[in-house]
Every structure is written in structure tokens, then in C-alpha cells.
Amino acid sequence: MQQLEIHNFLIRYFQANECQITENGPGYLTVQLSIELDKELMNRPFYWHYLEKTGGVANPMKLTLITNPQIAPENIKGEIIHFGSPRLHQIFQSTKKLSSYIRLYENHQNNQQQTPLLPWLCMNVKISYQCDRKRDIFKSIGLQLINGQMVEDFHDRLQNVKLTPKIPDYSFTLSPLVKPKSGLSRIENYLKAVIAEDDHSWAEDARQRWEKDLQLLHHFYEDAEEENESYETEKRALQEQYEPKINISFINGGLFYLTDKAV
Amino acid sequence: MTVQIEFDSSWQDEFLHRIENDGPWGNWELFKQAVGVEKHLIIPDFEGLQAPSHLPNLTPLPHQLETAKQVIENMNGKAILADEVGLGKTIEAGLILKEYMIRGLVKKVLILVPASLVTQWSYELNSKFFIPAVSQRKSYVWEQCDVVVSSIDTAKRDPHRDIIYKQDYDLIIIDEAHKLKNNKTKNYEFVQSLKKKFCLLLTATPIQNRIEEIFNLVSLLKPGHLGSETAFYEKYKRDARSLNDNEHLKELVNKVMIRNRRADTGIEWTKRHVETIPIAFSPQEKELYEAITELKSEGDWVQTSAFSVMTLQREACSSRESVFYTLKNMLQKKENPTKAFEDQIQYLISKVEAVTTNSKAEKALELIQKIDDKVIIFTEYRATQMYLQWYLKQNGISSVPFRGGFKRGKKDWMRELFQKHAQVLIATEAGGEGINLQFCNHIINFDLPWNPMRLEQRIGRIHRLGQEKDVMIYNFAIQNTVEEHILKLLYEKIELFEKVIGDLDDILTKLDFGSIEDHLIDIFGQSCSEGEMRIKMENLTSMIDLAKDMQKEDSHAAAGNS
């Protein structure tokens, strides 16, 4: 992420959370936090607890973030934000947490004409291949809950669709024929099938490394009397180090009601 | 190939719940951002390093990046990092730790370091790597914090040990790991019982001398890598000289050890210029020195005293204040002093009082004025340190004191003062490990330390990565004194100032002759007379010469074979 990307990301994050950006200068921004975001980011539970008990006037903090020290005014005081800074990662986490579940409708322009909207189930996931190393794959799957059509890169396709949280006038939603619960397991099965097709020599290699170290370990403790505690500990450590695993974790997802030509 | 797939179902349950309750639903803008963030944080490949893009304020050197990559990709996260001093082992360890944390392979970390380095380690991990490392001070820290820095002595003690054994560590880092070369010690046993999924052992002294030490250290990291104990000693004799004797063993060890050398890093190191500045005593100073030297003939006086005559001689070469301080102490500590003893001391004190100037201090002042830049003065004695500060102030030169005993915060503050406001830093202890002063390139060795290894540490404060200028070292020596003799031995015989100790150690490894540090401590700490010192020193230098010759022959032989 470039510094400018980070700057724009922060602006969008605060605006989406209804905080007022009081200053937006070159390489820095100052934001008046809302009460919700102060609680979310500033880590001062005692203050908020105290305020609730005493009924005082809430005074959420202002936050100045410097996204590019080189072009920011010299006298500005604030937190320097870069791709590795804990504050940015805290905001990343918060972004995810605040938008795990969603439901939106296509804001179509079919004037005064009754328009059916089809239900889609969307899941954005991260697949991780993990042994003593790791790599990730991003997948965005959409499942139409009427005819069971499955679409990849669903999130990208949605970028061209106008969406709104309220159902537009002259629109009605079709009831899903596939229940969301079974839709979820359809996607799960699909992902597993995709994974099964993939090349898993990484796992094979990891198992070989594991086996090799296991033999060395065994050899080392050969002389020792049985039931050696260190041996068992080391054996467990090797398993944790090498055992190949695949994790599918959720980023976010939800229900989208779209016209039939939307995606 | 079947690999177990974990499917996180917590999201689904909550999702179905929200459908039933018609919300609450998230914001589209944030939803899109979350996906964007996740795409950025995805790790596309098993190989390569992600850490550097997370660390904009740190520019790792090529050998540090290469080391981190090697450890993760080819050593599966278990390695001995044995770089020469000053090449940044801490940075390498930090990079590896950060990489594993970014990849989500490591969460819980235990870092065991010498007690004096605990604060510094956590400070560096926090400030340079944005890793929330915590110094262990309360016992709940073990359980509640993910990255804990502690001394091994604390960790192995109850109640900590049992709590630590219950933790599930992903990575264990041990600094100064060469202290674990003996497998009969409690520390070794403690580390051996820890579960080591990923593990880094850091050592500046390469496993050098005994094959036994190599076996113990490697077996700690990766049991069985060198075979079982019995099989290993059947193959290699326990008292075999060194690693270099056996190519096969060397190759095996290199699979788990990385050792970068200054010469291989391709970094241009600035030069060291050493200048010995001979100084003459004033008549009164000379009288004091001679009065002390005469004590030697009065044998029983020396034996009954805890302080050797040589201590006093060396102090006389530094300042009258340091002599006075020692004399006062001698008088106070002596139980039932005899009249003769008291008279003797009083006599010396009168000689001290007769001294009105300090020739070295005058020379130092002159030199500092000429340099007209930042200077560090090292002295062994607190009394000299205080005197010098006063003396320089009298002459309009600002200075700050520095002692190893200062707390971390004070050390940093003094460093800051020196960098921004003062011209001179007067330090009594180079062992102020981890204070880096590379913005300064002049050192005055006002007197010599008891342990000449400290000379290397002194110089190491400024001659390190980041030093842009040549380093100037001025050694003060009073003519015709013990000091001058010591300096000659160190400087002329073994070129101690110009050589890095590691090189000398490597040379001596050839002979299985022990570390140079042990020899120097013995020579300078235990010798009763200058004569003894000189003879021992000559022995050492001839050993070094012999080893150097052997090394040359080796390289000739190697060249001949190729």
C-alpha cells in the first residue's frame, strides 16, 4: 500500500463511520472521532465506564494521523501511519469487524416498472495453505439462490452495480429457493472441490521435511530409556512446525438482491 | 494427497442469525474496504519476505535480508545466527520474527537474553519492528502477553518455570546462546525442555573450540541433527580440536548455522586510526608514582593488602583523585591497622596532596580543542571521571557522564544530551552495551581497562554500522610507567586495536588454545608483576604468530589443490 492509498483509505474509513474530517492537508489528516469510533480505537474503557456512571458529557478525541512526514507541515503533531504501523492494522481489523455482514439491493433505474430482484449469497474468503510456511488465496464466490448459479470473482463484478441498503421503489425480492444455510454448504463444497484440484506438492514436501526431522529426533533419543519427556515435547513441536493444513477463513459476505442482468 | 481442511463456521452461524433478525447490516463502503485490505494483506507466495514492506523506517542490509530468507526457506525456521559482532544479529532475528508474525505462523514468542539486555530488546522490537514485546516483570506477563523478553535466570526459576512450560510457544529466541554450550547446566536443561517449534540461537562467539560444544548447541536446536550422543562421539573424538578438522561435520553444522563476516558483507567499513600519545609526568606526579612503586619492596605490606600495588600504579597514571579514593578505602576497610600501615598511607596521601596538576587532563583538553568535534573519553575510574568533568567545565567545555550502571532511560537521555548539546562524553564503562554513538568518531582512552577485551567494546560503540567517518583512537600513556608497557604489548605485539577480536579468536581456534579474552584477563588481572605480565604476553603473541603461520600454510595448501 502506498502512502497516498493509505491516506485515502483512512479518509474513506472515517467518513464511512460518520466522523468529521476537520483537516485534510498534504500528508496528514485530523479527524473528530465519533463516540463509537473513540470506543473502537482509543482503548480507554475506564473513561467511558466513568462517563456512563457519572452521566457526564462525552468528549470523544480528535486524532491526527500523518501519512507522509515528508510533505506534512513540520509543526504538525500526530501519529505517523505506514503499512506496518499497529494503528493502521487496528483500523484494518475494525474495518473488517464493522462490515462482516451485509445486505444490499440493486438501485436500478427501471422507472415505475415493477422489477424483480434475485437473491445472491456472497462469501469472501481467504484460503491459507500452511505448514512451516504459508500462502493465501483470496476467493469471492457468489451463489444465486434461485437457480443455484455459482460465480467467481463476485466482489469484482459487484463494483459495476449501484447498490443501496433500502429496497428501491417498484421493486420486489424473490424468495430464495435455496435456503441460505444450504447455500453456505454448497459454497463450502465448491471451495473444497477447487482446493482438491490444486497442486499440493507443498504439503508433500512439508511431510518429507517432517519425516526427516522425526527420524533424526528418534535417532537422538534411541539410547535413552523409554518415556522420555523431551522426546515427546520435541515430537509435538515437529508436528506443529510441519503438519500441512488448509484453513478457510471468512472475510465478509452477505445477501445481495440484484436484477437479472446485473452480474 | 489429502490435507485436512479447517472451515471456520462461526461466521455462518452469526450470518444466519442476522438474516432471521433482519440485521444489523454493515456499511457497503466499509465492506469494500475490508476486501481491499484483505487483498493487500494476502501472502501470495510461500517464498520471499513480506516484512520489509511493513518496516519503512528500517533499511536492512543485504546480508541481513539474505539471512532471514535463508532461515525461513532453507532452514525451516531453526537456526544458529553466529554473525561477527556488529553485523546486526538482532535485526536478523527481528526480521525473521516479523516475517513469521505477518504470515500468521507465529503468535506466542519467548525471548531469552542476558538480564542487562532485556529492556533494550523489547525497546528495539517495539520501535524498529512494531512488535509489541514486553519485558517480563510480573508473573502474569507470561500468560497474558504474546511476545515476552526475559533473562534466562529469571525464567528458569520458580514459579516462572512451571508457567513457561505450560505456554505454547511458536518461536523461541535465545541471545548469547554460546553460554549454553555445557549440557550439564541448569540453563541447558531448562532450554532443552522448552518446546521449540521455531527457534533462533544467537551467538557472537562462534562455536569454536570444542567439538563437544558444537554438539550440545546443535542438539539443543535440532536434536539428532548430529546424531545421538554415543554415535557422535564414536565418530568424532570428544577432544577433537575444532570444527575445521572435519569437512563433513562442518557441512552438517552449516546447515543449521549462518555466520556472516565483516569481510563478506561487502559493506565498506571505515578505517581505524590508532595514535599513541606519550605524556610526561609533572615532577610531583612522578614522585607519587615512584612512592607507590617503592611499596613493592615492602613485601608483607603488599600481601596483607587486598589492593595490589599495580592497581595503585595504574591509578597514579590516571588521576590523583583515583589514588586518593583507593587509599581512603584501604584505610577504612583494614581492621586494626598497624601504625606502620597508617603511616604508609598517610605518607602516600601527602604525596597525592602535593600533586596540583594532571598532565593527561591538560593533554586531553588540548586535543579536544584541536579536534573541535565530539569526543568520547573512556576512563576506568569514577574519581577520574568526576575530576575530568569538573576540569573540562573549568575550561569551558561541556561534557556528560556515562556509567554502565545508569538505567536505560538515563543512558538514552545522556546519549541525547551528548548528541545535541555537549562536546564530550566521559564514560567509565564501555559495557554500556547497546548504546550506539556512531555520530562521534573520536575516542580518547584516558587509561587502560583491566580487561583489554573492553577496548574492543569501547571502539565498538562508534566503529559500527552507520559510522561514516574513519575512527580515530587516541591512547594516552605516561612514559616509563606500567601503562606504557601494557600499551606496547597490546598494540605492538598483537595489534589489538586494529584487529577485531573475532579474527584473533578464529586464529586461535586453530590451536585449541582457548579464547583470547580468557588469556588477557589472566595476564592483566592475575599477574603480580610487570615481568610476569611481559612473559605471559610474549607466550600469547608467539602462539598467535604460530597460529597465523599455520593458517597461511592451510590456505597455500588449499590453493595448491584447486
Question: Would you say residue B515 has pLDDT above 80?
Answer: no
The pLDDT value recorded for residue B434 is 55
Chain A residues inside the 8 Å CB shell of B104: 128, 130, 134
Q: What percent of chain B has pLDDT over 90?
A: 26
| The CA-based dihedral angle spanning residues A156, A158, A164, A169, taken in that order and rounded to the nearest 10 degrees | 170
Tell me the per-residue pLDDT of B336-369, one tens digit each, with 9 for 90 and over. 777 877 888 888 899 999 998 999 999 999 999 9
Tell me the per-residue pLDDT of A176-189, one tens digit each, with 9 for 90 and over. 999 999 999 999 99
Question: Would you say residue A223 has pLDDT above 60?
Answer: yes
Between chain A and chain B, the number of residue pairs with CB atoms below 8 A apart is 202
Q: Which of A179-193, B116-130, B262-276, B521-535 has the lowest mean pLDDT?
A: B521-535
Contacts of A173 (CB under 8 A, 6+ apart): A105, A116, A117, A119, A167, A257
Quote ipTM for the complex.
0.89
| Cα–Cα distance, A35 to A45 (Å, whole number) | 12
Spell out the domains of chain B, with CATH numbers in brackets. Answer: 11-41 (no CATH), 60-265 (3.40.50.10810), 277-354 (no CATH), 365-553 (3.40.50.300)
Answer whether B3 sits within 8 Å of A244, measured CB to CB: yes
The pLDDT value recorded for residue A118 is 93
Answer whether A137 sits within 8 Å of B19, measured CB to CB: no
Question: Would you say residue B97 has pLDDT above 70?
Answer: yes
The pLDDT value recorded for residue A255 is 93
- Which residue type is seen at B233? Y
Distance from CA of B247 to the nearest CA of A (A): 20
Question: Would you say residue A90 has pLDDT above 80?
Answer: yes
Between residues A71 and B526, the one the model is more confident about: A71
Question: Would you say residue A248 has pLDDT above 50?
Answer: yes
- Which residue type is seen at B510? K
Question: Would you say residue B430 has pLDDT above 60?
Answer: no
Between residues B57 and B378, the one the model is more confident about: B378
Retrieve residue B308's grid coordinates: 595490589
Q: Where are the domains of chain A?
A: 3-98, 102-200+246-258, 201-243
Question: Would you say residue B466 has pLDDT above 50?
Answer: yes
Question: Helix/strand/coil (H, E, C) string of B24-43?
Answer: CCCCHHHHHHHHHHHHHHCC
Whole-structure pTM value: 0.71
Of these ranges, A132-141, B229-238, B489-498, the one predicted with the greatest mean pLDDT is A132-141
The pLDDT of B266-280, averaged and rounded, is 82
Would you place residue B306 in the very low, low, confident or very high pLDDT band (cuts 50, 70, 90)?
A: very low
Alpha-carbon distances of A66 from A30, A34, A76, A79, B235, rounded to whole Å: 9, 20, 8, 6, 62
Tell me the per-residue pLDDT of B5-17, one tens digit each, with 9 for 90 and over. 888 888 888 999 9
Distance from CA of B140 to the nearest CA of A (A): 21
Would you place residue B559 in the very low, low, confident or very high pLDDT band (cuts 50, 70, 90)?
A: very low
The pLDDT of A116-134, averaged and rounded, is 93
Write down the mean pLDDT value for chain B.
Answer: 82
Question: Would you say residue A32 has pLDDT above 80?
Answer: yes
Retrieve residue A175's grid coordinates: 424468495
Residue pointed to by grid coordinates 536478523: B92
Question: Would you say residue B408 has pLDDT above 90?
Answer: no
Answer whether A254 sits within 8 Å of B31, measured CB to CB: yes
Chain B residues inside the 8 Å CB shell of A92: 37, 41
Between residues B526 and B385, the one the model is more confident about: B385
Angle at which helices B211-221 and B186-193 pack, to 10 degrees?
30
Between residues A172 and B178, the one the model is more confident about: A172
The pLDDT value recorded for residue B273 is 85
Between residues B430 and B443, the one the model is more confident about: B443
The pLDDT value recorded for residue B137 is 81
Question: Would you say residue B160 has pLDDT above 70?
Answer: yes
The pLDDT value recorded for residue B115 is 81
Distance from CA of A85 to the nearest CA of B (A): 7
Answer whether A135 sits within 8 Å of B45, measured CB to CB: yes
The pLDDT value recorded for residue B503 is 61
Would you place residue B292 in the very low, low, confident or very high pLDDT band (cuts 50, 70, 90)?
A: confident
